[in-house]
Amino acid sequence: MPQNTLPQNPLPQKNAHLLDDILLILTMAVLAGCGLIYEYLLSHYAGRVLGVMESTIYTMIGLMIVSMGLGAFAARKVSCAFNGFVWLELIIALVGSSAILIIGGLIAITQIFPQLIADMLSLPPDMKPQGGLFKQLSWLAFKSPYFFGVILGFFIGMEIPLIARIRESIHKQHLANNLGTIYGADYVGAGVGAAIWVIFLLSIDISKAAAITASLNLIAGAFFILRYWQHLNWRKTFVALHCGLALIIVLMFSYGNQWLNQMNSLLYLDKVVHTDKTRYQQLTFTERHMGLDQNNIINFYLNGRLQFSSIDEHIYHDYLVAPVMAGSARHENILIIGGGDGLALRDVLKYNPKNVTLIDLDSELIDIFKQPKDLVNPRLASQILQLNKESLQDERVTIIPADAFIAINQLLKNRQVFDAIIVDLPDPSHPDLNKLYSVNFYARLKLLLSGDGLIAIQSTSPYHAKDSFISIGKTLAAAKFAHVEQYHDNVPSFGEWGWTIASKRGASPLTRLNKLTKLPVAHPWINLAILKAAFIFPNDFYQNKENIGINILGSHTIYQLHQKAWQDQQNLN
């Protein structure tokens, strides 16, 4: 008679499977968050490198999603899901942590390579090789973010199929809702990753953000090795590679930003004396030594684009400030939109206003120009304060660090009225800036302007971005200003530059200037005669005006016109 045997207790095995499920689902959620952050990292950096922010971001995300699909198809070729998953996380961590630095290095090398060749061959500056092979190498370097996006997307796409196979291998059966569970973890993890990017990673150095994200891939791989040690081949190799890659990631976290800044410094003609990343943009100061008897030249860049040069910024600011202040009936209460460097404010204060309100989005930028001694080296701090005459510290100035598109609503609610308004914003090179060049924004500024006041707007280049320049004038007219006029002159650092000025009611700006015998306040560069001449354009300048669009909120007309002009200029070089 056979012996009775007690049925085996399934609880330990069930608990073990539960632990495996929790580990794998949490791992999937973490990796999904990492994958989304890599998309944002590369999109964000590529947008800054290529300049065409909106289309670059969408292209990068699209390429990575397609590559993830290809990776999911390719996962079936991995014979052992356990070994494949460990290799996968090692590759993603390595590429993810180093991609930004490699891209920066490639761009820097291709930019300095022609100069190295010219120096070796003792060629004069105007014969530096720039076309042919050199142009193609530079083009490839600037497109390299897309290459790394495809590589990362391909390997990230393999994660879900491999984890699905690993779960079924552990359970030794087909799991009815296996993919649903894993995709659920993937979606939730991606959402958490997006929140972490916006709240935390966006405000730190991009190399540190990449290192932190890569470390999570490495940690996920390490936990996987510990849990599934018996399922793995090459165990010692995996452990050694994890240790080595951990050291690399620590180095990336500690020195990556320094290395990236050094490579970025090679892209500038002059010595980089300070660089910083705020929540919104990359700030860079360069210095050019001019000799013992001359002041050094300070250049200031936002995201690699020149904002001012100390040698000729007075020309730009003379044209921005003098016409609007000279043509306005009073100067008691002035509004400046942008201008966080304090240079336009410096010139406005010459008119002895009672109050000036300055609205600029980037509080960190304002701090650098307001209290530079605490944030930059003493030499640069002294030069900054010498340039803006410590205007941001003036007790008559109220600084509002906020998005002007929203902040002016509070001014309207408070029924504030300004005698003159000056809009000193960067060019509309980003979709977020486009709204500040819209009919909606200008119409609300019109409500803030006194009846006999004027508004002046920096309006990009009438030569390099002609359609964008004209569109700004048409958009201001669409906001129902009584008279809209434009003027231009050469600013050596920028080339031909333009501004737009408008009156709410009464005489046109130029009519008001024509009534003056001289400017009420002396400016370093312009006088009344030069200023009035700046309103004259070539006969055919506005011949295509009817075909140029108005920038209605959401249309992105000015942004698209500006980007097209920028791309056309790039293709000419």
Distances (CA, A) of 521 to 70, 332, 348, 352, 485: 66, 15, 10, 10, 22
Residues 6+ apart with CB under 8 A from 125: 118
Cβ-in-10-Å burial (0-12, 13-18, 19+) of 324 comes to buried
Three-state SS annotation for 137-155: HHHHHHHHHHHHHHHHHHH
State the number of CA atoms in the 13 A half-sphere of 500 facing the CB.
Answer: 24
Instruction: DSSP for 230-286, please give it.
Output: GG-SSHHHHHHHHHHHHHHHHHHHHHHHHHHHHHHHTTSSSEEEEEEE-SS-EEEEE
Q: What is d(CA 255, CA 244) in angstroms, rounded to the nearest whole number? A: 16
Both structure tokens of 383 = 């030069």
How many angstroms separate the CA atoms of 569 and 468, rounded? 14
Cβ atoms 303, 282 nearer than 8 A = yes
Amino acid at 25: I
Catalytically annotated residue among 186, 205, 347, 424: 424
The span from the CA of 430 to the CA of 447, in Å, is: 26
Distance separating alpha carbons of residues 78 and 6, to the nearest angstrom: 41
The CA-atom distances, in angstroms, between 382 and each of 57, 80, 366, 373, 388 are 38, 63, 16, 8, 10
Contact 159, 78 (CB under 8 A): no
Q: Is the dihedral of CA 186, 103, 255, 278 positive or negative?
A: negative
Residue 15's CB is within 10 A of a number of other CB atoms, namely 10
List Cα–Cα distances, 341 to 60, 346, 368, 396, 430, in angstroms: 33, 9, 8, 16, 20
- In 504-565, beta strands by DSSP E: none
- Active-site residue, 424 included: yes
Q: Give the DSSP letter of residue 502.
A: E
Catalytic residues: 424
